[in-house]
Amino acid sequence: MIGNMKKLYWALLNKRKRVPVLKNPGYCPTCEQDVTFVARNPWLRDHYCCSNCGSIPRERALMRTIETHFPNWRELTIHESSPGDRGASKRLSRECGKYIPTQFFPDKKPGNIIGKYRCENLGALTFEDESIDLHVTQDVLEHVFHPSKVFSEISRTLKPGGAHIFTVPIVNKTKPSSVRAQVSGDGRIFHLEPPVYHGNPINDRGSLVTMDWGFDICRHIYESSGLFTNVIYIDDISNGIRAEYIEVLMTLKPSESETTNAIP
């Protein structure tokens, strides 16, 4: 009797898990197909998926932002740090002839090719000055120990008229950004908050969250690079873009003509 009750309980639980929290038809910006978007978990940011390419909302928001502001992106030199294997990363890799995917391998020399990736440290890039049209990062900047160095390096390597287009969880909606972990000169990590890790495609241990960013990230970027950043918020269920922490940020480097015109 007890065994039958357990089976019934698990059957009902599994059935409940299969019932979508959200399901709707729409058009996916990452695979350019008419699809169905389905979420079977209320945390839409990770579970509101495209039925065709498996992309999640932040990937679709980022791809739509790139398409809107840089419609010629296929012709550009695009660097993406820590790309995924689906969604925007997959499309950029497939359709952009000058797409450069990178990962940071601490034991490898920066600039070397490791498998399909180039080894790069965002805080000390080996790219030449003004050599990249678009830097792309997806949920990377909450894991860096020296964000000011990253912002400075991105500015240095961007071509005039280029941009850094990225996602990062803005978790501190009503308060300033805060540091969760720091690193000493000899590599020791000091935790100021209980450690939190996110998934990492090349490291089973995951990536330590070092920053809880707020909207003042735009000020941090300006103070580090002199560049202005726009916060782009898209809520469009027809494109499967609805979730928590869905902001896309775009840091623009003025073109030479814009810089010249700004001089009195």
Tell me the DSSP string of 165-195. EEE--EEESSS--EE-EEE-TTS-EEESS--
Span 146-160, mean pLDDT? 98
Strand partners, 49: 38
Query: What does pTM read for this prediction?
Result: 0.88
3-class secondary-structure state, position 66: helix
Domain edges within the chain: 56-262
Residue 256: the pLDDT is 74
Q: Please, are residues 142 and 213 in contact by the beta-carbon 8 Å criterion?
A: yes
Q: How many CB atoms lie within 10 A of CB 43?
A: 11
User: pLDDT per residue over 3-61, tens digit each?
Assistant: 454 455 444 445 555 789 999 999 999 999 999 999 999 999 999 999 999 999 999 99
- pLDDT at res. 187: 81
Terminal Cα-to-Cα distance of the chain (whole angstroms): 86
Region at 190 (left for phi over 0; alpha for psi -120 to 50; beta for the rest):
beta
- pLDDT for 12 equals 46
Distance CA 96, CA 134 (A): 11
The pLDDT of residue 13 is 47
* Res 206: pLDDT: 74
Q: Give which of 136, 123, 125, 185 is closest to 163, Cα–Cα.
A: 136
- The CATH topology of domain 56-262 is Rossmann fold (3.40.50)
Greatest Cα-to-Cα distance within the chain, rounded to the nearest angstrom: 86
In order of 31, 51, 246, the CA distances from 23 in angstroms are 18, 10, 18
Q: What is the mean pLDDT of residues 94-109?
A: 95
Is the CB of residue 100 less than 8 Å from the CB of residue 129?
no
Query: In the structure, what pLDDT confidence band is assigned to residue 207 with cuts at 50, 70 and 90?
Result: confident
Quick: pLDDT tens for 109-150: 999 999 999 999 999 999 999 999 999 999 999 999 999 999
Q: Is the per-residue pLDDT at 203 higher than 90?
A: no
* Predicted pLDDT at 239: 98
Helix (H), strand (E) counts: the chain: 7, 18
pLDDT of 10: 46
Cα–Cα distance between 29 and 95 in angstroms, integer?
Answer: 14
What mean pLDDT comes out for the span 90-115?
Answer: 95
Per-residue pLDDT of 172-184, as tens digits, reads 999 999 999 999 8
Averaged pLDDT of the chain: 90
Nearest Cα neighbor of 175 from 138, 223, 217, 224 is 217
